[in-house]
Chain A
Amino acid sequence: MTTPRTLSHGPGVPQAANTATPAIEARALTRRFGGERHLFARSPTVHAVNEVSFAVQTGETFAVVGESGCGKSTLGRLLLRLIDATEGRVFYQGEDITHWHGAKLRRLRREMQIIFQDPFASLNPGMTVGQIIGEPVAFHGLARNAAERRERVAQLLSKVGLQPAYADRYPHEFSGGQRQRVGIARALAGEPKLIVGDEPVSALDVSVQAQVINLLESLKAELGLTLIMVAHDLAVIRHMSDRVAVMYLGEIVELAQVDELFDAPLHPYTQALLRAIPAGSPRERRMKPALQGDLPSPTAPPPGCRFHTRCPHAKPRCSEERPLAETLAGGRQVACHFWRELQNAGSSAPLVASVSAKLSERLTLYRAWQATVMDMPADRPAHAPTDIPTNALADAPTETRGGTQAVPDSPGPTAAADR
């Protein structure tokens, strides 16, 4: 357990985990929407992001988690300067980029990219995949002529585990997982240093989701990317990230190393969030929901602590005084008046599903056999008749091109060894 070193900091004071210049940093970042004057009335003001501060180190996977409407997507877009902040500042590699525009901002775009949630809505249906990926290549001047551009597109496609021949196809010809791979290839086209994934796997089926997660991880290791994951799926976050920021109604309520957070959540909201995850095993069912009620409207956030209306431990002080983020040893932050008293309040760590002996034996076999099949792409026809639809195998990365690129689906040492 961490021994709390009580240094109280206002939300405007950034706390870097170490002294290196962070890849990206938010300082008291605030964004409000609405509030315009109309004929007779003002539109309601939505307090989407409120005085959020944190720093992401180079090479880190930083996750922002919260329920819908908590402001996590807005935060991701603020960092990338896709929307402008109402107040506060964004620093990229030590430089204040809050008010950059024109050519300077365009150069910045090459370094920072985004992967969207819905791979169908974010790809232009009238463009071929080659055009979609080739556009940023041309825009950033990474190819001198059409031949070079084609070559670059082919490289990017095989990097994400798609056949280079797919460049001539349109988005509707692909499955959801393949489309998300196209979205990733496009994000990689400008050779970015930082990628924001806005729910990059939540629209995908479980089996395909695992492929894309593994792909993102091996690409990150290979290219030395900094990754910011905006997501609501806590299991995906536990699996992928180094540090996690938990957001509630536009504010960060807790920020910690991923293991700290999942093993001993301090904020009552984090505790409730973790307890709401389905058990994962029929023997460990949760009988009681952790939280009652709905998220309050961000047009009228509750006074004091924004969580007090749903918090099972709320006291009078919580509705009167806004809790400031307190920084503990190791850079962990928590914004709750009573976190010390509540540390052991609610058997808070999520129960980890116990895996049966048979399942674990069979999973081991499954992985081992999968690995041998992956290693020998030419081996397949030995068993299989020739009329297997090749499309069914198209997602399998080894089907693309020799073993020169990262093999996203294999239980690769690259992704795992980095931890």
Chain B
Amino acid sequence: MTGEGGPILDVRGFSLKFSNAPEMPNVVDDISFAVRAGETLCMVGESGCGKSVTSLALMGLLASPPARRVAGTAHFEGEDLFAMSERKLADIRGNRMSMIFQEPMTSLNPAYTIGEQIAESIRRHRGIKRAQAREEALTMLRLVRIPAPETRLDAFAHQLSGGMRQRAMIAMALANSPRLLIADEPTTALDVTIQAQVLSLIRTLQAQTGTAMLLITHDLGVVAEVADRVAVMYAGKIVEYGTVADLFDDPQHPYTIGLMGAIPSVGKREGALSTIRGSVPSPSQMPRGCRFAPRCPFAQRRCFEHAPPERKLAGEHRVACWLAPVEQFAASAQREELI
């Protein structure tokens, strides 16, 4: 751990299951990570890897049943979110811990103005007067650089563009100066020029407020742009974890390597893209051993039979793979062949 005090969010050994399918394997399986003040942890993975379910579980937004926590703790500023009463959680949510969703159109209420929605959250948590809350909401809209904020305050969600809606969501999420912000694919629905604006906004605001951020994305470009630390998820497991430099300079897990090779480069074309064969396994067909084994080009018998434990590498870097680093494995495999 680095020296800047304890983490804001500390998740350990978290596993989740859906109780309507008790015979199936955990949807999220034994994941651990921490987010510190002023830092961004990116959780990256493809659809169905469990990244969004994890964020919803942390916010207490998953209906339970069917969702059921099987194991693990999630300490937020020292208190376990999973052990908290619903009332206490409601006090924290939108206040010290808030969330930005992917599609701002469906997460904003179409029947209330933007100003009312931001003010509601301020009044709920700070108990201040209506007029004062409206004033605060205006300040927030200025902060996220919405043009003509005085008129937007009385606008409805459908009257705003996609980029502006997402800014309004960010204004709402930051209205009570949260210690932790969970952002689930905040820029996925946006155009690339608007995405650049929103990412830069998030980065600036974070530097000003010291908010810790858990950013969920499928886009390694976004990770490269904003992450301090990265957790790569595959089929409910964190297969690799480390600083953003660890991940991009020294990717260890074959899934991470495959993912990086599958992204087309904006540079000169270099032949066909690498692919990861097949597709993500459904929970009912979860492989017994390493969950990536059926798609991994290096997979050995051991990989299919036993799930690899997480191994610590230099610093915070850790990987769950029997064969990493692959160049060592490949060299030894070649030696065996020669004999």
Contacts and interface: CB of A to CB of B under 8 A. Distances in A.
Given A208-B279, A363-B261, A366-B261, A234 B192 contact: yes
B261 A239 contact: no
Given A280-B224, A285-B225, A395-B278, A239 B193 contact: no
B258 interface: yes
Nearest to A213: B273
A214 B272 CA distance: 6
Given A67-B191, A292-B197, A388-B304, A359 B251 contact: yes
A175 B285 CA distance: 14
Given A238-B265, A289-B193, A365-B327, A370 B277 contact: yes
Interface stretch (A12-20, A323-331, A333-341, A348-356): A348-356
A37 interface: no
Given A393-B277, A416-B272, A206 B218 contact: yes
Contacts of B281: 389, 392
A369 B254 CA distance: 11
Interface stretch (A21-29, A79-87, A407-415): A407-415
Contacts of B249: 356, 358-359
Majority secondary structure of chain A interface residues (helix, strand, loop or mixed): helix
Contact of A278 (B219, B251, B285): B219
B271 A411 contact: yes
B295 to A, nearest CB: 7
Interface in B273-325: 273-282, 285, 287-288, 293-295, 297-301, 303-305, 325
B266 interface: yes
Contact of B297 (A235, A359, A373): A373
B330 interface: yes
B46 A235 contact: no
Interface residues of B, number: 74
Interface string B194-222: 11110110000000000000000011111
A277 B221 contact: yes
A338 B225 CA distance: 32
B264 A235 contact: yes
A144 interface: no
A287 interface: yes
Interface residues of A, number: 86
A373 B327 CA distance: 17
Contacts of B162: 68
A262 B273 CA distance: 19
Contacts of A367: 261, 274
A274 B285 CA distance: 41
B259 to A, nearest CB: 6
Given A234-B192, A276-B195, A395-B277, A388 B294 contact: yes
A87 B30 CA distance: 61
A281 B267 CA distance: 13
B279 A395 contact: yes
A209 B276 CA distance: 10
Contact of A361 (B163, B221, B327): B327
Nearest to B195: A276
A238 to B, nearest CB: 5
Contacts of A389: 281, 285, 287, 294
Interface string A379-390: 000011101110
Nearest to A410: B272
A210 B273 contact: yes
Contacts of A240: 264
Contact of B248 (A272, A359, A385, A409): A359
B242 to A, nearest CB: 12
Contact of A206 (B194, B220, B277, B285): B220
B108 to A, nearest CB: 17
Contacts of B199: 278, 289
B191 A282 contact: no
Contacts of B304: 383-385, 388
Given A207-B262, A282-B244, A392-B279, A290 B295 contact: no
B279 A289 contact: no
Nearest to B219: A278
Contacts of A411: 271-272, 274
Contact of A295 (B161, B218, B277, B325): B161
Contacts of B47: 176, 205
Given A272-B193, A389-B294, A395-B278, A214 B273 contact: yes
B335 interface: no
A359 B277 contact: no
B122 interface: no
Nearest to B225: A278
B268 interface: yes
A259 interface: yes
Given A363-B274, A369-B298, A276 B192 contact: yes
A386 to B, nearest CB: 10
27 contacts: A205-B218, A206-B259, A206-B263, A207-B275, A217-B272, A239-B265, A275-B196, A276-B196, A277-B192, A277-B221, A285-B224, A286-B196, A290-B193, A292-B197, A362-B327, A366-B254, A366-B297, A367-B261, A369-B297, A384-B301, A388-B294, A388-B304, A391-B282, A395-B277, A395-B278, A409-B275, A411-B272
Q: Which 7 A/B pairs are nearest by Cβ-Cβ distance?
A: A278-B221, A352-B267, A239-B264, A207-B276, A369-B297, A389-B285, A210-B262
Interface of A: 67-68, 175-178, 205-211, 213-214, 217-218, 232, 234-236, 238-240, 259, 262, 272-295, 350, 352-353, 356, 358-359, 361-363, 365-367, 369-370, 372-374, 383-385, 387-389, 391-396, 409-412, 415-416, 419
